[in-house]
């Protein structure tokens, strides 16, 4: 965990604006800084960038799974055992030209909980995961995505009870579904977005034709979702190429 | 990992913002990638990628290129930014010619990237579409701050430090370019577009000067 060395801190406040979740705070008598451990996500921005001119911010070893998991989800320079991918993410659409993870009649869903920049308690991620599972999404397993490692049941999206109050900078709920179920999933997300205390950024993965089109656009239109204008395009140069 | 997908800002500003990725697939084409990665980087440099890096080492803005390339392993994933569609076209053309076999991904405005694909004669395979931000959006910072913080999708660039840099630029204590650089080096993977950030900061400076007139 990250702590401020009281002997070294002079209360210059240089470090405070660098924390993405404002966990670096002035103490009661405004003499030194301290780390609010309830909201610190262990992202290590302060450590990595040496934001304290006197090196008063120090990292101590993580002594429990909860803190290690927070660090893993919040610090993108750390890799997850299993996926091998740095950060909390997966290869998702990025290698779909060679993995064929998402087929032509499927769509993938990437729900970036807590993004942009707000963070979230795992309880919020559980709500969203359970909602999309009920709507027909099959969640990715622990070999592909870190959140699955703390799920007690992949078929429901339920997370470990002892971790529900854990605060992370972000965590991704990932899965896939038959494209016919897209309206159900979007409706479920419209419902659950009203029940959470944070935000999420939503990505939908689809195989496309040579013009970048997909039947999904018509489905989104019927759901009053504007046609997307930003995307991450896998340009099909990976080999061996999956064409089916 | 979708840290390049959900960038905020005006369409005009986003037109000058492309993110590229080099990705090997675990268990398929992820062995002995160093030579391919070096070729990939050489192409990115040839077309003047403004920023790039390997998250395990850092970005080229505050690390020597040699240091980054010396540390390449089979787990390295490279990514970076372009500010012009023409760079994307040249990049894709060259990568297609070299046939390195690694997955190539370009993130940006669909209208811009799809045209670039056509011009480079590559065929999109799969797209991760951004459907925006959902949930309690009222707790988000203001749009001009988000336009900068979302350039590091991992959110290593805090909204408060962006506000601080905006103030420094507004008051003339710092140039937009210097402020943008100081924000960019907080992003360890090299996808922060410091050129676009400087433009956004410059707009704040101009708006402030107009107010003072």
Q: Say which CATH number the domain at B59 has.
A: 3.30.70
Continuous H helices in A159-198: 182-192
Q: Is residue B125 part of a domain?
A: no
* Closest Cα in chain B, distance from residue A91 (Å): 7
B102 and B167 in a single domain? The answer is no
- Is the CB of A19 less than 8 angstroms away from the CB of B158? yes
B2, B26, B134: residue with CB nearest A199: B134
Spatial CA neighbour of B33 closest among A107, A239, A52, A106 = A239
- On whether residue B132 sits in a domain, the answer given is no
Cα–Cα distance for residue pair A153/A150, rounded to 1 Å: 9
Residue B16: inside a domain? yes
Residues B29 and B93 in one domain: yes
Same domain, B111 and B148: no
Residue B72, in any domain of the structure = yes
Residue B105 and residue B145 in one domain: no
- For residue B73, is it within any domain? yes
Please check whether residue B106 is in contact with residue B79, taking contact to mean a CB–CB distance below 8 angstroms: no
The stretch A127-132 carries a mean pLDDT of 98
What's the confidence (pLDDT) of residue A85? 57
Query: Degrees (nearest 5) of the Cα angle B96, B97, B99?
Result: 65
Last residue of a domain, one of B87, B120, B153: B120
**Could you give the residue range(s) of every CATH 3.30.70.20 domain in chain A?**
2-69
Chain B interface disruption, residue of A101, A231, A236, A240, most B CBs within 10 A: A231
Which pLDDT belongs to residue B179?
A: 98
User: Chain B: nearest CA to A73, how far in angstroms?
Assistant: 10
Candidates A154, A172, A149, A175; CA nearest to A69 is: A149
Q: Please, which residues 153-172 of chain A have a Cβ atom closer than 8 Å to chain B?
A: 169-170, 172
Domains identified in chain B, total number: 2
Q: What is the per-residue pLDDT across B85-118, written as a single tens digit (0 to 9) for each? A: 999 999 999 999 999 999 999 999 999 999 999 9
Picking from A85, A110, A200, the nearest residue to B135 by CB comes out as A200
B83 and B163 co-located in one domain: no
Of the listed ranges A113-117, A139-143, B140-144, B193-197, the one predicted with least confidence:
A139-143
> Does this complex have an ipTM over 0.90?
yes
Stretch(es) of chain A classified as CATH 3.90.1170: 89-222
Please provide the CATH number assigned to the domain covering A2-69: 3.30.70.20
Helix, strand and coil content of chain B, in percent to the nearest 5, comes to 45, 15, 40
Is the Cβ–Cβ distance between A88 and A72 less than 8 Å? Answer: yes
- List, for residues A52-88, the tens digit of each pLDDT value: 999 999 999 988 999 999 999 999 998 766 555 555 5
| Same domain flag for B65 and B159 | no
Same domain, B161 and B201: yes
Stretch A124-135: mean pLDDT, rounded?
A: 98
pLDDT at B213 over 90: no
B13 contact A CB<8A? no
Q: Is residue B67 part of a domain?
A: yes
Statement to judge: residues B105 and B74 lie in one domain: yes
pLDDT at B164 over 70: yes
Tell me the pTM.
Answer: 0.95
Q: Please provide the average confidence, as pLDDT, over all residues in chain A.
A: 93
CATH 3.40.1350 fits A89-222, yes or no: no
pLDDT of residue B149: 97
Q: Where are the alpha helices (DSSP H) in B65-109?
A: 65-70, 85-98
Q: In sequence order, what are the beta bridge partners of A109?
A: A175, A204
pLDDT over 90 (residue A210)? no
| Tokens (6 digits) for B124 | 């999109």
Mean confidence (pLDDT) of chain B: 95
* Residue from A138, A149, A123 nearest A175 by CA: A138
Residue A63 · residue A69 · CB < 8 Å: no
Residue B186 in contact with residue A45, Cβ under 8 Å? Answer: yes
Q: Which of B120, B145, B170 is the last residue of a domain?
A: B120
A106, A201, A242: best to mutate for the B interface, most B CBs within 10 A:
A201
| B106 shares a domain with B49 | yes
Contacts of A243 by beta carbon, 8 Å cutoff, 6+ apart: none
Region A105-131 average pLDDT: 97
Is there a contact between A95 and B103 if contact means CB atoms under 8 Å apart? yes
A212 Cβ neighbours under 8 A, 6+ residues apart: A231, A233, B110, B114, B117, B124, B127
Q: Is the pLDDT of residue A138 over 80?
A: yes
Q: How far is B92 from chain A (nearest CA, A)?
A: 9
Segment A166-190, tens digit of pLDDT: 999 999 999 999 999 999 999 999 9
Q: Give yes or no: residues B105 and B179 share one domain.
A: no
Question: What tens digit of pLDDT does each residue of B25-78 get?
Answer: 989 999 999 999 999 999 999 999 999 999 989 999 999 999 999 999 998 999
Q: Residue B209: what pLDDT? A: 72
User: By residue range, what is the domain housing residue B154?
Assistant: 137-212
């Amino acid at each position: 965990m990250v702590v401020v060395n009281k002997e070294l801190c002079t209360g210059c406040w240089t470090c405070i604006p660098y924390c993405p979740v404002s966990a670096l705070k002035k103490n009661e008598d405004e003499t030194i800084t301290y780390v609010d451990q309830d909201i610190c996500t262990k992202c290590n921005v302060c450590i990595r960038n040496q934001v304290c001119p006197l090196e008063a911010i120090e990292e101590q070893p993580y002594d429990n799974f909860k803190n290690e998991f927070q660090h893993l989800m919040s610090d993108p320079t750390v890799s997850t055992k299993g996926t091998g991918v740095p950060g909390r993410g997966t290869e998702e659409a990025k290698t779909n030209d060679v993995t064929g993870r998402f087929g032509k009649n499927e769509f993938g869903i990437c729900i970036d909980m807590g993004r942009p920049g707000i963070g979230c308690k795992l309880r919020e991620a559980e709500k969203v995961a359970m909602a999309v599972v009920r709507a027909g999404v099959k969640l990715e397993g622990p070999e592909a995505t870190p959140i699955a490692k703390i799920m007690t049941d992949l078929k429901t999206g339920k997370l470990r009870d002892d971790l529900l109050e854990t605060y992370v900078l972000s965590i991704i709920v990932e899965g896939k579904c038959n494209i016919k179920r897209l309206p159900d999933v979007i409706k479920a997300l419209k419902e659950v977005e009203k029940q959470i205390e944070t935000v999420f950024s939503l990505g939908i993965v689809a195989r496309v034709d040579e013009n970048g089109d997909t039947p999904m656009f018509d489905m989104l239109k019927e759901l009053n979702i504007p046609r997307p204008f930003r995307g991450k395009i896998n340009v099909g140069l990976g080999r061996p190429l999956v064409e089916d | 990992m979708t840290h390049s997908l959900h960038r905020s800002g005006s369409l005009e500003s986003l037109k000058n913002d492309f993110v590229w990725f080099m990705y090997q697939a675990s268990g398929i084409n992820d062995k002995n990638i160093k030579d391919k990665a070096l070729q990939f980087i050489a192409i990115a440099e040839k077309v003047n990628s403004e920023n790039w890096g390997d998250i395990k080492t850092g970005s080229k803005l505050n690390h020597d290129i040699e240091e980054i390339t010396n540390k390449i392993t089979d787990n390295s994933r490279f990514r970076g930014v372009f500010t012009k569609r023409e760079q994307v076209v040249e990049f894709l053309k060259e990568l297609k010619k070299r046939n390195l076999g690694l997955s190539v991904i370009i993130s940006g405005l669909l209208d811009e990237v799809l045209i670039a694909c056509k011009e480079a004669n590559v065929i999109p395979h799969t797209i991760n579409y951004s459907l925006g931000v959902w949930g309690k959006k009222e707790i988000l910072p203001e749009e001009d701050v988000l336009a900068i913080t979302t350039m590091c999708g991992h959110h290593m660039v805090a909204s408060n430090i962006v506000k601080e840099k905006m103030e420094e630029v507004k008051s003339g204590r710092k140039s937009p370019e210097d402020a943008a650089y100081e924000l960019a080096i907080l992003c360890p993977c090299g996808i922060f577009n410091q050129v676009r950030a400087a433009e956004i900061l410059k707009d704040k400076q101009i708006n402030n000067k107009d107010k003072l007139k």
